[in-house]
Amino acid sequence: MGIKLGLVGLGTFGSAFAPLFASHPLVDSIVLCDAEADRIEKNAALPAVAAKLSGKMLTIDEFCRTDCDGAVVMTQPQLHAPQCIKILESGKYVYSAVPVISCPDDGEILDWCGKIIDTVQRTGMEYMLGETTIYRPQTMFCRRMARQGLFGDFVYAEAEYAHDLDSECSLREVQQRRSTGKIGEKLAEAMRPYREKGFKSHPMSYPTHSVSGVVDVMRSKPISVSAIGYRNANNDPYFKNYDFSNIVAFFRMDNGASFRAAEMREISSNIGLAGEDLRIFGTRGSYSLNEWRDNGRILPTPEKKPNKLVRYTPEEMRDPLPEEVSSAFRKALDIKDGDSDFVPSGHGGSHPYLVHEFVSAVAERRRPEISAWDAAMYMAMGVAAHKSACRDGEIVPVPDFGKTW
Ligand SMILES: NC(=O)c1ccc[n+]([C@@H]2O[C@H](COP(=O)([O-])OP(=O)(O)OC[C@H]3O[C@@H](n4cnc5c(N)ncnc54)[C@H](O)[C@@H]3O)[C@@H](O)[C@H]2O)c1
């Protein structure tokens, strides 16, 4: 018997995921929840969703009373943490879109992370952060190489999320869209107390795209950080309530490596690279820009160690999905057999993997990848980086929520 899943929040992002969650072979039944009835109807009409639809509801309270096994929360980021806790407490596994919570008060971000961990421990339900970076092809490839020990010892890594506010996915438009509708129009008012207390927004309150991949590949905890912030210099109204529009952070990791992470919201392009990318270097193997270099060194020997270079395509770097899962996704996305193979799409092809991981974790009643502890670690890295940037690069410790791999 399969599982019963609720999709909570059916805006732009939730709608992109709805056919994937609905078509997964382990999902028997789907419930749709959004405050906006027209968004429910739009998703209910999708063939993959219609085939398994068992309920429609306008509120999370009503959803919590269902007998669903799990919920996928894709509401506005300011709302995630309290909504996820409420749903966990109603006896359901939770998948949350990133970040854990969006909030100008860094102390409150850490409090919410702690509360989610407490709720997971108290209820026995599990939390998964839907971090797309974890299932980008380069992260999957590096993870496989790392688990085989092919990096040797990690020495250095860098990663960045460079999303300029006026890029193709305009942050001004995203902000405007998320501030409309029954829920959205209340959000500006909810920010007022923070502004009155002088809290400022900053890009490291949403650090997950830059920090998560490297941490996940290395399986190493951050110890301390020094960070430098860039302040918007042309009075752009978008950054009115920001102290920094960009923050670059340098972490000391507990495996002896150093890691430079950058969160940029005001930069014309990512230093000639993709908007989101990572590069990871070890004593034996290194990954950068779809290339793997391996010098074969295991033990100290006097011979030269020239690198052998292999170049990979994104398709070669991805993990395989089970055939029945990819074929169900292919059908849901109307990719005709024989037309093409299933090429995962959405944030580097990560969406189908996130769906498969969460659904499998619910069905198997196990802890998912990107657990509450992983999520808290990523958020703590951002909070610590911001604290350091506010102190002009002072080295500050990264709060530790306790994590065992
Ligand atoms: N790469 C990534 O991982 C990535 C990319 C894009 C978006 N996101 C995340 O996805 C989330 C959703 O973004 P979006 O652009 O789709 O937002 P959106 O504003 O388009 O949609 C949010 C939906 O949630 C609904 N909602 C909120 N609270 C509700 C409640 N209490 N009851 C019922 N419905 C409720 C709203 O009515 C709205 O339809 C955000 O948190 C964002 O950070 C992540």
Residue 101 has a pLDDT of 98
Residue 332 has a pLDDT of 87
Atom of ligand 1 nearest to the CA of 208: 3
Instruction: Give the domain ranges of the chain.
Output: 133-397
What is the average pLDDT across 9-34? 97
Q: Distance between CA 310 and CA 329 in Å, rounded? A: 31
Q: Distance between CA 370 and CA 134 in Å, rounded? A: 8
State percent of the chain over pLDDT 90. Answer: 91
Pick from 216-230, 261-275, 282-296, 330-344: least confident = 330-344
Residue 274 has a pLDDT of 75
Q: Distance between CA 216 and CA 405 in Å, rounded? A: 10
- What spacing in Å lies between the alpha carbon of 400 and ligand 1's midpoint? 28
Q: What tens digit of pLDDT does each residue of 103-120 get?
A: 999 999 999 999 999 999
Atom of ligand 1 nearest to the CA of 16: 16
- What spacing in Å lies between the alpha carbon of 383 and ligand 1's midpoint? 23
Exposed, middle or buried: residue 185 (CB in 10 Å: 0-12, 13-18, 19+)? exposed
Three-state DSSP state, 279: strand
Residue 354 has a pLDDT of 98
- More confident call, 270 vs 6: 6
What is the average pLDDT across 183-211? 95
* CA dihedral (373, 376, 378, 381) positive or negative: negative
Lay out the sheet containing 308-311: strands in order across.
308-311, 291-294, 285-288, 276-282, 154-162, 258-264, 246-253, 222-230, 396-397
* CA dihedral (187, 190, 196, 198) positive or negative: negative
Three-state DSSP state, 307: coil
Per-residue pLDDT at 46 exceeds 80: yes
Against a cut of 0.85, is the pTM above it?
A: yes
Per-residue pLDDT at 123 exceeds 70: yes
Q: Distance between CA 172 and CA 53 in Å, rounded? A: 34
CATH architecture of the domain with residue range 133-397: 2-Layer Sandwich (3.30)
Per-residue pLDDT at 165 exceeds 60: yes
Residue 344 has a pLDDT of 80
Atom of ligand 1 nearest to the CA of 60: 32
> 275 falls in which pLDDT band (50, 70, 90)?
confident
Q: Classify strands 222-230 and 396-397 as parallel, antiparallel or unpaired.
A: antiparallel
Find how far residue 229's CA is from the centre of its chain: 22
Pocket of ligand 1 (CB under 6 A): 9-14, 33-36, 39, 59-60, 74-77, 79, 97-98, 132, 177-178, 181, 183-184, 347
Atom of ligand 1 nearest to the CA of 75: 24
Per-residue pLDDT at 340 exceeds 60: no
